């Protein structure tokens, strides 16, 4: 499961949430003021900061689209 945590809801955090929802992956979103930066975690690996979270979401989107591509045999 992917876990997204951030200190404050923003347009960017909302974009990440919407993208995760669109990709239909298991995820959880938490707003928590004790965090200074956004963090997204998957399988024990953390990606910290806006750029890292955005990069993770972009790569996840590429992976999911490639997996769903008709050429993959699914």
Give 47's Cβ-side CA count (13 Å radius).
18
2-6 and 39-42 strand pairing: antiparallel
- pTM score, two decimals? 0.77
CA dihedral sign of residues 25, 30, 31, 36: negative
What is the reported pLDDT for 49?
95
From first to last of its 74 residues, what are the pLDDT tens digits of the chain? 888 999 999 999 999 989 888 887 788 999 989 999 999 999 999 999 999 999 999 999 998 888 777 765 55
């Amino acid at each position: 499961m992917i876990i997204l945590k951030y200190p404050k809801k923003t347009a960017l955090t909302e974009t990440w949430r919407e993208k995760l929802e669109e990709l239909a992956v298991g995820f959880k979103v938490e707003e928590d003021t004790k965090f200074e930066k956004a963090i997204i975690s998957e399988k024990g690996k953390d990606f910290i900061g806006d750029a890292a979270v955005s990069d993770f979401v972009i790569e996840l989107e590429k992976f999911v689209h490639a997996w769903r591509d008709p050429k993959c045999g699914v």
